[in-house]
Amino acid sequence: MASVSSIEELIDSLRQLPGIGPKAAQRMAYQLLTSDKETASRLGNALLNAVKNVKRCPRCNNLTDKDVCKYCSSIHRDDSLLCVVETVADMMVIEQSLSWNGRYFILMGRLSPLNGIGPNELELGHLIDRASEPEVKEVVIATSFTAEGEATALAITELLAKHTPHVKVTRIAKGIPAGAELEYTDVNTVAQAMLNRRIRENN
Amino acid sequence: MASVSSIEELIDSLRQLPGIGPKAAQRMAYQLLTSDKETASRLGNALLNAVKNVKRCPRCNNLTDKDVCKYCSSIHRDDSLLCVVETVADMMVIEQSLSWNGRYFILMGRLSPLNGIGPNELELGHLIDRASEPEVKEVVIATSFTAEGEATALAITELLAKHTPHVKVTRIAKGIPAGAELEYTDVNTVAQAMLNRRIRENN
Ligand SMILES: [Zn+2]
Ligand SMILES: [Zn+2]
């Protein structure tokens, strides 16, 4: 900190945030130091506290500042259901959809040979251990519907069939997004939705 | 910090940043805690250091962690020229344009009666003191070309004519932006540029 001023160091640090360019970093720094010093202090302390306290949940890989995360420790969730996702953000989207009351397992990525992420880089051994726990009856694979996400889903399906043959393995549905008009949906999605059509129940 | 987790507090704090919505704050927090803990620590320390060290330059209102800012203390700038801007960001744009080697004065806003910013809310008394220093020969008013910026420029012009009648008061030029095609420039700007036309010098 001999030659770089506190302001320049702040602008440089803000630029490291995902999605923040040089102009936005400068604007943020000036606003924080001009009219928002309270926000600056609060965010500074929040960052240092989170770095110190937040770690991975040993059961699901979620971020937590407890010994076990709130989804793993909740007594109101169904122990027989395990949902496999790629990232913490994916898990949060499912939580926000209010469509899941089982447990989670976060792979921390997906198979991506071009980026050097093979089976050993994902938490697949950890997943098999988790799915082998006697209360687990169904594993829902909720990886994304990209080529890499699909390859990951396939690899997990094969692994679980081999190691936990008594567990039912399912995949979240691929289809036309809620609120979308068919006219503006890409044909590949429409074709998949047609193939995956289900019998309409009377309810 | 009893019931709110370190992660929730971090997401909440990131949301206070200008231009950051709830989704972006969540994504940033997860990325910082998943793969960028070094960035998180660095930014946390930068924020707390800046809040502690950065203050207003007593001569020009610029942000600085020195007693006097680098533009006021530089021995390579022309003391006879003083440029009046609304904000630190405006000053930085002029610096980046490499078109100015005089001193600056930052008003910290502009007249905005609807928002309760009258002459007393701006640093106008401070500006008159600064413009009264004997070495000042010209004050260039570089407030913006909005209604409020123009009203601010007018008020400053009248104040300086009264208190420092020996000082030349100028206004940066309004006209067609560099690189713009006339066809796509709004007619008001074209009309102003025509009114403000200048004799072409042979250089
Ligand atoms: Zn957990
Ligand atoms: Zn200064």
Tens of pLDDT along A23-75? Answer: 889 889 998 998 888 999 999 999 999 999 999 999 999 999 999 999 999 99
* Min Cα–Cα distance to chain B from A61, Å: 10
**Could A18 and B9 be called an inter-chain contact, meaning their C-beta atoms sit closer than 8 Å?**
no
**Is the pLDDT at A193 greater than 50, yes or no?**
yes
Residue A63 sits at the chain B interface (C-beta within 8 Å) = yes
Residue B30 sits at the chain A interface (C-beta within 8 Å) = yes
Q: Which of A175, A170, A172, A144 is nearest to A157 (CA)?
A: A170
Say if CB B45 and CB A2 are below 8 A apart.
no
Percent of chain A exceeding pLDDT 90 equals: 53
Pairing of strands B55-56, A168-171: unpaired
pLDDT at position A85? 92
In angstroms, what CA-CA distances link A49 with A44, A53, B148?
A: 9, 6, 43
Confidence of residue A2 (pLDDT cuts 50, 70, 90): very low
By C-alpha distance, the chain A residue nearest B35 is A108
Higher pLDDT, B118 or A193: B118
Residue A126 sits at the chain B interface (C-beta within 8 Å) = no
Confidence of residue A1 (pLDDT cuts 50, 70, 90): very low
Q: How far apart are CA A48 and CA A177, in angstroms?
A: 39
Q: Give the SS3 label for residue A157.
A: helix
Say if CB B28 and CB B12 are below 8 A apart.
no
Q: How far apart are CA A28 and CA A103, in angstroms?
A: 39
Run of H or E residues at A100: none
Domains and their CATH numbers in chain B: 6-53 (1.10.8.420), 76-171 (3.40.1360.10), 173-203 (no CATH)
**Could A10 and B63 be called an inter-chain contact, meaning their C-beta atoms sit closer than 8 Å?**
no
Q: Give the SS3 label for residue A62.
A: coil
Q: Which of A97-101, B78-82, B153-157 has the lowest mean pLDDT?
A: A97-101
Residue B93 sits at the chain A interface (C-beta within 8 Å) = no
- Chain A hits for B87, CB-CB cut-off 8 Å, are 30, 34
pLDDT at position B3? 56
Query: Smallest Cβ distance to B54: which of A6, A48, A53?
Result: A6
pLDDT at position B45? 94
- Chain B hits for A92, CB-CB cut-off 8 Å, are 26
**Could A40 and B18 be called an inter-chain contact, meaning their C-beta atoms sit closer than 8 Å?**
no
Residue A19 sits at the chain B interface (C-beta within 8 Å) = yes
Q: Which of A152-161, B131-140, B168-177 has the lowest mean pLDDT?
A: B168-177
From the CA of B152, how far away is ligand 1's center (Å)?
Answer: 58
* Min Cα–Cα distance to chain B from A196, Å: 31
Q: Give the SS3 label for residue B78.
A: strand
Higher pLDDT, B143 or A193: B143
Q: Which of A43, A70, A200 is nearest to B28 (CA)?
A: A43
**Is the pLDDT at B179 greater than 80, yes or no?**
no
Confidence of residue A196 (pLDDT cuts 50, 70, 90): confident
Confidence of residue A201 (pLDDT cuts 50, 70, 90): low
Pairing of strands B168-171, B138-141: parallel
* Min Cα–Cα distance to chain A from B99, Å: 19
pLDDT at position A176? 77
Say if CB A78 and CB A135 are below 8 A apart.
no
Confidence of residue A203 (pLDDT cuts 50, 70, 90): very low
Percent of chain B exceeding pLDDT 90 equals: 53
Q: How far apart are CA A107 and CA A88, in angstroms?
A: 9
Confidence of residue A161 (pLDDT cuts 50, 70, 90): very high
